[in-house]
Amino acid sequence: MGMERGEFVYRIYRALTYGLSPLIHLHLRWRKLRGLEHALRWRERLGVPSHSRPPGPLFWFHAVSLGEGMCAIPVIKCCIERRPDVTVLMTTTTTSAFEVIKHQLPENVIYQFSPVDTPGAVDAFLRYWKPSAIMLMESELWPNLIIGAAKNRIALALLNARMSVKSYDSWSQPYINSLTSLMLSKFLLVLPLSTTQAIRFQLLQCPPFIINFCGDLKYAVGNIDTNEGDQRALEELQVQLMNRKVWMASSIHKGEEKVMLAVHNALKEIHPDIITIIVPRHPQHGEQIALELEKDGVRVALRSRHDKLMPGTNIYVVDTLGELQKFYRLTPIAVIGGSFLPGSAGHNISEAAAAGCAILTGQFISCLLDRTWIQSAASLGSRLLSFVSFECLVNLKSLYRSFLSYGNTDATLESFVSITGFWTHSCRSSQQPS
């Protein structure tokens, strides 16, 4: 009965997205004019390919934005190493992710923009690329894509799977929950971030036998390659910071910079030479912060301008993409934004934790992460800041990172590689007649 209701709700969804397709097409054109879609490759979002498909089995990895896309790269590299006969296709949704990830992928990986979830775009995409398996990252549940893949007997996996409280409330609404159950029944593998996430998926009728635990892929993400000039500037900054007190506010949303600047001013009274690194969630926000501060006579170093820390400069604004992990390595303290204003949901603290930072957050964090765990981490960070000097934190960070190098990051990656059996099944399924 539940599946029949789910099929009925899906038919309504498919009819609605089919009817709205012309408006979605116009919306994509409008986004292109505003610079939100790639000027030359925006048609890929409609399922129009810009690259030829090689013969043989093909695995498709899909992520929305930069963070999820970077998590897919370690799995892609292992996939290529273990299955050199397979072609890998990577897609993302945002242009910001495209600009960074295209330089991080192995050379033989095909990179496209993902199709919007309309019947025409999804069907055209699947018909052209004919993937043997689809690996979706984190929380990408799109009905036309998932049901279309299942009808074409394409194996589906959800990696680094997460289900926030807000998303859970949405997917568990009456009638919508039957569609959710239908979609989750099409997966062969779901790898949640935590037990809490797994419980939410099971409450949404995800079959328990397809749920496995492998840890967070963010811990397996390696260093991001940067060009020689940017790398040299980063090394120079590291030298400049060696004898200074430094802390970082990362993933800052609009409005939160006021909180961070107030903290900076308070800390400056105690440590006049302190450096505050501000990394906004959106790079364009960084330039706005710098301009506002400069209007008030505050000296600011801006990453995109390749500014150096001159005497009297105490604020460094990072308005570039793909460098958050490298800046975590420069600071002993990380304050994670997206958690200080009502309506916020917080951001994943895995990268900061992996870099050995003492972590603090605001109170609005329950939507994305295990609240108990993150509050424990924030409590630890608060105690460290209260009783331990900046110098001691730097030493603790170094020790912790050494410990991590002998930890379970490799084991986490190996757990994902253990789905080779899933890949083999995918190739066999794709070769069977429909």
Residues with catalytic function: 68
CA dihedral angle for residue 393, residue 394, residue 395, residue 398, rounded to 10 degrees: 120
Instruction: Compute the distance between CA of residue 104 and CA of residue 291 in angstroms, rounded to an integer.
Output: 31
Strand order across the 358-361 sheet: 300-302, 315-317, 275-280, 246-252, 333-336, 358-361
* Burial of residue 107 (number of CB atoms within 10 Å: 0-12, 13-18, 19+): exposed
The two tokens of residue 54 are: 């090689």
Q: What's the rounded Cα separation, in Å, for the pair 259 and 280?
A: 13
